Structure 1
Amino acid sequence: MSKMPIRSISRITVFFYVLSLLTFILVLPAAEAGGLLLSTAFPGIEVRPGETVTFPLEIRNYGEPQKVDLQVVSGPKGWSTSFKGGGMIVNQVFATDKEPAKVDFQVEVPQEAKPGNYSFVIQASGPGGSSSLSLKLLIKETPSGNDKMTTQYPVLSGTSTTTFQFRVDLTNNGAQEKSYSLNAQAPPGWQVTFSPAYESKQIASLSLKPGQSQGLDVTVKPPQGVKAGTYNIPIEAVSGNSKAGVVLKVVITGTYSLEITTPTERFNAEATAGVESPVTLIIKNTGSSDIQNVTFSATPPTNWAVTFKPDTIDVLPAGESRQVTAFIKPSKEAIAGDYVVNITANSPAASTTATFRISVKTSTLWGVVGVLLVLGVIGGVAWTFHKYGRR
């Protein structure tokens, strides 16, 4: 049997020695140092500003059961983090050599965080060793900016009785879902309501996902008797520090309307033939615009006279009234009875006519004269019979 050369045996011995040493270096240190391994299934994720994300962690222990401290070694400034387990915030876990200890690492991404790559280094350390883990967070460039509220037709016109309906679009340009409250700053007496486009239900708030837009119908109803003019109605959608709005404009076009009435709202009066009788009139501007140069006229029976004081109202503001006196003088020959007199208030913008029933009484003087005439006739006849009746 031939013998192996001494040099070859030496080389084989050295090889196995080196192999054993490498095994000792690679495998045994973990056990000797406590054998901790900190890991997560997803060490790199995408996030959005304002979002809260969670990394599920596992701590494996290859040595004796031990308490393991948890800490954040490094991370972006101003970001809020915490370790959570069992519904509580924790800073230690107990790791055995059977099942991995599980804990969540929670990160709150600031609302003002800009697009880019961010990283955290966290560490689990025990009595005999430690394990570190690097976590990556990516904020992508997304369409962002101020939320927007726009409308294609911001100005509508109509009369004071018109109900105006605007269509506006609200867009969430942020990177997270938002809940908006809807507000309007209308003049006193104006009514403003919000509804989803093409729906009848009224809403006071709504939620939009990132990049989502919602059409809104804004109904504006002016108060009764509002004056002609242009009215600004700012509306806005508010979500936390985010705000979007637009100014709607309503142009109330002038309406012109006059009304004649009396303090008692009765349209009859009494007069004496040949005598001027006053009748109090109330002239009302029931429109939404001022009326200028209001004059008065009447259509009485023949030989009657009607005058007015004042005979002209220079300006009658919208919603206001003025008192005017009509002096009605029936004809001297008018007999007792009811007569019709039409009184008209006229202006370049509007006119109106009211019909009055005038009850005429004859003068008591003419009654006395008539009685005297009758008595005179009777007396004359009696004297004639007395003087000539004996012959």
Structure 2
Amino acid sequence: MYTKKRLPYLFSFLLLFIILSPQPMNAAAGISIFTPHTGISLTPGETMNYNVTINNQSTEIKNLEIRLEDMPENWSYSVTKDGYAINRLAVEPGSSESITIDVEVPLQVEKGSYTFDIVTEDQAGVVTSLPVTIDVNEQGVFKTELTTDQPNMEGDADSTFRYDLEIYNRTAEEQHYSLRANAPRGWNVEFETDGKKVTSITVDSNQREQMAVEITPSEEVKQGEYEIPIMASSGSTEAEVNLEAVVTGTYEMELTTPDGRLSSDITPGGDKVIELEVKNTGTSSLTDISLSSNTPPEWNVEFEPANITSLEPGESATVKARVTASDNAIAGDYVVEMSAGSPEISSDASFRISVKTSMLWGWVGVLMIGVVIAGMIFLVRKYGRR
């Protein structure tokens, strides 16, 4: 009976205790932090851009301090809004604000999982946090990378080979690189950045720079494949990439005579044999060489042989050209064009051919003149006295 009388008092005491007891501050504060990327995988040197939304579900303005806690050693971060760096943010009741948090993974870092907290603290000291994890998926490095998407090129001996290279400074410091090449003797190698010739290049930490390499073979280069190592080195790190130039050689040909003379003489209707010399003056083989001519009307040229199967660089071949003049050719100079051509290149030579009349006709003319003179003397003697 006594116990039953005390129950209403006990119930009232418990209700009052519940009403007056303090509530959990984090829930009462009405602040929540949201980002979709609470767990992500990065490589050393990468930067993660977190888009973070801060919601104020309370009935009062919250002036919040924003920071990251438990950051790993040598990691760095920045908090921005609308392009400005901030460390505090005011959020109206029942609204939200978006901020950006950039977290940079250092280059020298151990492979593993790293967790830190995005933290807000209001003017009353109430703290809200959101844990975020970054998995570093490879061991950090301290090195330089020198790469190209097109390491090999092909061209003739007169070509200039141009390669586009990228240098990546994967160290924690700015590096000043000296550039050099190990090219064959007589070759020329030039480095270029921003349209200017250079011998060195400076690259900031964890940055990339583009440059071009121009390689010109020597004048005496032979057909073949050539490897040219390119090096970039500083006091603490260096990198190398191998470039390849495939030289196909040059196609050059000369049509001439053994003594260099490009003139001769002939009589009307007669023929003359001219000895020609076809030279391969290039650095590539010549094949399927054919001989042809361009003559005055009613003239003719025959070649023996009319075709040359092949000529290696530096080699020459002898060809006999039989030139036949027209029967109606009169005395004077004529031009006969002769050509030697392959599928790759051709060479022309112009010959000056002088036509001279036959000595027989000269003597016939002299005889006729003599006959005329003798006839005139006879007539004078016979009729002159009358």
Q: TM-score range by the shorter chain?
A: 0.5 to 0.7
- Quick check: 1:306–1:328 contact (8 Å CA) kept in 2? yes
Contact 2:142 2:172 in 1 (8 A): no
Identity %: 42
Deviation at 1:168, TM superposition (A): 0.9
Give me the TM-score of the superposition, normalised by structure 2. Answer: 0.52
Structure 2 residue corresponding to 1:202, chosen from 192, 197, 204: 197
| CA 1:274–1:388: 2 relative to 1, 3 Å | same
SS at match of 1:367: helix
* Alignment map for 1:195-344 (pairs within 5 Å): 195-196=192-193, 199-224=194-219, 229-239=224-234, 242-252=237-247, 256-261=251-256, 267-279=262-274, 281-285=276-280, 289-308=284-303, 311-318=306-313, 324-344=319-339
Separation in 1 of the partners of 2:343 and 2:226? 26
**357-366 vs 295-304, which deviates more?**
295-304
Distance 1:189 1:262, change over 3 A: farther
Q: Secondary structure at the match of 2:183?
A: coil
Q: Deviations over 1:63-113 (max 9, x none)?
A: xxxxxxxxxxxxxxxxxxxxxxxxxxxxxxxxxxxxxxxxxxxxxxxxxx9
Structure 1 equivalent of residue 340 of structure 2: 345
- Equivalent in the alignment of 1:165: 162
* CA RMSD between the two structures: 4.1
Partner of 2:190: 193
Which amino acid is the alignment partner of residue 185 of structure 1?
N
| TM-score, normalised by the number of residues in structure 1 | 0.52
CA contact (8 A) 2:280 2:313 kept: yes
Task: Report the Cα offset of residue 185 of structure 1.
Answer: 2.1
State yes or no: 1:152 paired with 2:149: yes
**What is the CA deviation profile of residues 252-286 of structure 1, one whole-angstrom value per residue up to 9, with x for unaligned ones?**
45664544345787754433445544545453446
CA distance in 2, matches of 1:142, 1:207: 25
Q: Structure 1: state its 5+ residue gaps.
A: 1-45, 48-112, 116-140
CA distance in structure 2 between the partners assigned to 1:323 and 1:188 by the alignment: 35
Out of 375, 383, 389, the residue aligned to residue 370 of structure 2 is: 375
Matched residue, 1:56: none
Q: CA deviation at 1:223?
A: 4.0
Larger Rg over CA atoms: 1
Q: In the aligned structure 1, how far is the partner of 2:334 from the partner of 2:231?
A: 63
Q: Which amino acid aligns with 2:346?
A: S
1:220/1:315 CA distance change after superposition, 3 Å: same
Equivalent pairs, count? 255
Q: Is the 8 A contact 2:158 2:250 kept in 1?
A: no
Greater Cα shift, 303-312 or 377-386 = 377-386
